[in-house]
Homo-oligomer: A and B are copies of this chain.
Amino acid sequence: MSKSSEFMYPSKWNANASTGVRLACELRLRIISGVIQQGSVLSENKLAADFEVSRSPIREALKILASENIIRLERMGAVVVGLSDQDIKEIYDVRLLIETFVYERILKIDTSELVRELSKIREMMEVAIKYKDADEFSYQDVLFHETIIRSINHSYILLIWNNTKPVMESLILLSMRVRLEEKSDDFLRILKNHEIYIKAIETKDREIMIQALHQNFEDVQGTVEDLWMSQQMLTTEREQ
């Protein structure tokens, strides 16, 4: 089952991280994409054999995934929980909650440096689109939102972000990879959405921010559908 043969997670994103963290990223992506089916039970020994590492980093990875509610550590093995549609909606609840809070704080601070930074990221996204690089686009997308969140220097909001980021990142990455084939227009739409974000921060106009958040929220339904499609593809692959 699911050897270490080919990795789904971009290796450059976590090249300097420890083996355990890298494994967590890989397993997370495989679980969320459905390559590792929910309900299945992972054993430390088996994973260690599959990935050709010892149990130590495997244990580290499983602890990480358990803290994200992606798996459930039980007496005999780690049960794969995965993400339901409900879960995905709930993640966006949290993101909305955080970003609303952050925006209220942003209204009170100088944002010229932030806007500059976000503009740079937006251009990076543009380049990623030009070269049809879904991974790079996803990376910049996540970075965009993280940059906004970091700007208010709130360690506990950042903590929440750090706890939800991995799943967000996985969802975005998988969604973008699917859309690259089918719906490349979406990339431009998302880019536009980010421009609205920047404008909202620049003008400090709540109305515009609500518009940006609203558009982003609409994208959730799309994400759910993409995930469903990706899992559907896997199922038919298995049946062949």
Interface majority SS on A: helix, strand, loop or mixed?
helix
> Contacts of A101 on B, CB cut-off 8 Å?
93, 97
Of A44-52, A61-69, A213-221, the one with at least 4 CB within 8 A of chain B: A61-69
State whether the Cβ of A87 lies closer than 8 Å to any Cβ in chain B. Answer: yes
Number of copies: 2
Q: Which of B90, B154, B163 contacts A154 (CB 8 A)?
A: B90
> Contacts of A94 on B, CB cut-off 8 Å?
156-157, 160
In the bound assembly, the distance between CA atoms of A89 and B227 in angstroms comes to 38
State whether the Cβ of A91 lies closer than 8 Å to any Cβ in chain B. Answer: yes
> Contacts of A155 on B, CB cut-off 8 Å?
69, 86-87, 90
State whether the Cβ of A76 lies closer than 8 Å to any Cβ in chain B. Answer: no
Contact digits for A80-124, partner B, Cβ 8 Å, 1 yes 0 no: 000000110011011001000100000000000000000000000
> Contacts of A69 on B, CB cut-off 8 Å?
155-156, 159
* A–B pairs, 16, beta carbons within 8 Å: A63-B63, A67-B67, A69-B156, A86-B155, A87-B156, A90-B154, A90-B155, A91-B156, A93-B101, A94-B157, A94-B160, A156-B164, A160-B160, A160-B163, A160-B164, A163-B163
Chain A interface residues toward B at CB < 8 A: 60, 63, 67-69, 86-87, 90-91, 93-94, 97, 101, 154-157, 159-160, 162-164
